[in-house]
Structure 1
């Protein structure tokens, strides 16, 4: 039995998977804010899954955790702003509390491994996470490809408009400024806690401004797909993250842009970009399952 935990900005998802990779147990709990609270959240998740499976922490084959921010090979987490973490030796803290080693991985990378497993994919895949930000995790024949310094897939910070909005990374016009939840929220002011939902509703009602922002969103996501295929030539691009809950409404918009580009470019047409793009199944605990799988790597 392997244990995986996905620590998100507000919710933590924890699962136990069996030897065949099947889901045995799953729980969800609120995520604490700040170093001490995040550690307590992880310890609580291990304890509760342990109660359900009848196993102590040492009884699991491996324990893995996916978490936002930059994650070093030693399990140090930094720049996880939404969790209140500027720097935390998470692997060390948990090893001390649990008495066993814990593998820490960036949450998008963990979700990439989980999606690859859940969707029974092979070859190469890019998991395009569309949430508050935009980033990708790349899997090659079942294994994560992190790059020389662990930033492979950080395509959200590729500038596409030198005169565009200032990005949190310090550059202007990055993909993330148009093709993400935060990018939509900046352009579409609303009281709805989910601005993208409000945007799509207004666009469906014929609001010209909403339609323009919605079109930029689709173009940005399509651009992300194009970058991933042109740089890594992945067999498939799986769209996940909060925006993926829009389902076929979002996917159809992206396909429409890719089809338009293919009509104008025989080269892009030869890449069959629309056929490579798919959505993560709704409700899939991809990041938690991926964390369980990377825990033993």
Structure 2
């Protein structure tokens, strides 16, 4: 009996897909374009599964479960996407739509929460950790003893919309000075306003050349990310915060800035200093399959015990 578990990380432009064997080994991994709107998203999911089967040399009929991580507001119990603006989806019963052609357990989860599970699995330590996603927006997933902590209404980890400067820039959520306005890629690029293929990289590069506005924005990125780390530790007391997302393409420059900011705040406050926040963060390695892996684990959770 097959135990192949498929995980799909559905993004605004591409799907990162992988297939896991029963022992957890990655059998295949591939990427395909996503598509726009309900029908295109469902078709792309099926195309990704077909592509995985071709890559891994197994028939689709051997797939035992499918897990899908997707941005937006998700009703995980129903397998329904309630709002995914970057995909043109406002309400889609995605799990049901996938099961029409592939009658196996299908689970749907918010992409950041799925990535949190995947990051914990890759580290071999999901006892007490948070995954902080610094992408176009900012959000986090919290994992305690290997289980996602969603909170009473599924919003646990939405640190991007914690206001840390009531006089700051207006956030897309309507508040001012949210963490996301400081370290979200979309907000920083908008504030920069100079275009460019990689605006955040331009900000960091020009800050190193002394550009005053670039320096201000770069310092803001460090402040926002440090605020997110501090909020996650103070609210959930996680041991580790793993930082991922597109902004982490900046690599050590980003990590060094965040560490410096956390150490500065620790020096100014004995209480914050006692938390050793600078020692509790790490970057997710570039190219990590955390989100797709987490999605596969979410899907496998619905399998009968003898197939897990």
Q: TM-score range by the shorter chain?
A: over 0.9
In 1, the alpha carbon distance for the partners of 2:106 and 2:147 equals 18
Between 1:17-26 and 1:2-11, the stretch displaced more is 17-26
**Aligned residue number for residue 82 of structure 1:** 86
Structure 2 counterparts to residues 1-297 of structure 1, below 5 A:
1-72=4-75, 73-297=77-301
The answer as to whether partners of 1:145 and 1:152 remain within 8 angstroms in 2 is: yes
**CA root-mean-square deviation:** 1.2
Alpha-carbon offset, residue 58 of structure 1: 4.2
The answer as to whether partners of 1:190 and 1:198 remain within 8 angstroms in 2 is: no
Between 1:109-118 and 1:166-175, the stretch displaced more is 166-175
The answer as to whether partners of 2:137 and 2:185 remain within 8 angstroms in 1 is: yes
The answer as to whether partners of 2:239 and 2:280 remain within 8 angstroms in 1 is: yes
The answer as to whether partners of 2:255 and 2:283 remain within 8 angstroms in 1 is: yes
The answer as to whether partners of 1:14 and 1:49 remain within 8 angstroms in 2 is: yes
In 2, the alpha carbon distance for the partners of 1:87 and 1:121 equals 35
Task: Report the 3-state secondary structure (helix = DSSP H, G, I; strand = E; otherwise coil) of the residue aligned with 1:160.
Answer: coil
Counting matched residue pairs gives 297
Task: Report the 3-state secondary structure (helix = DSSP H, G, I; strand = E; otherwise coil) of the residue aligned with 1:244.
Answer: helix
Alpha-carbon offset, residue 98 of structure 1: 1.8
In 1, the alpha carbon distance for the partners of 2:126 and 2:109 equals 21
The answer as to whether partners of 1:62 and 1:102 remain within 8 angstroms in 2 is: yes
The answer as to whether partners of 1:58 and 1:99 remain within 8 angstroms in 2 is: no
Give a deviation string over 1:26-75, Cα, whole Å, max 9, x none: 00011101111000100101111122334444422321010001110201
Q: Which runs of 5+ in 1 are unaligned?
A: none
Between 1:215-224 and 1:51-60, the stretch displaced more is 51-60
In 2, the alpha carbon distance for the partners of 1:243 and 1:120 equals 24
In 1, the alpha carbon distance for the partners of 2:231 and 2:7 equals 30
The answer as to whether partners of 1:16 and 1:25 remain within 8 angstroms in 2 is: yes
TM, length-normalised to structure 1: 0.97
The answer as to whether partners of 1:109 and 1:144 remain within 8 angstroms in 2 is: yes
TM, length-normalised to structure 2: 0.93
Alpha-carbon offset, residue 172 of structure 1: 1.9
Alpha-carbon offset, residue 116 of structure 1: 0.7
Task: Report the 3-state secondary structure (helix = DSSP H, G, I; strand = E; otherwise coil) of the residue aligned with 1:135.
Answer: strand
Between 1:216-225 and 1:89-98, the stretch displaced more is 89-98
Alpha-carbon offset, residue 170 of structure 1: 2.0
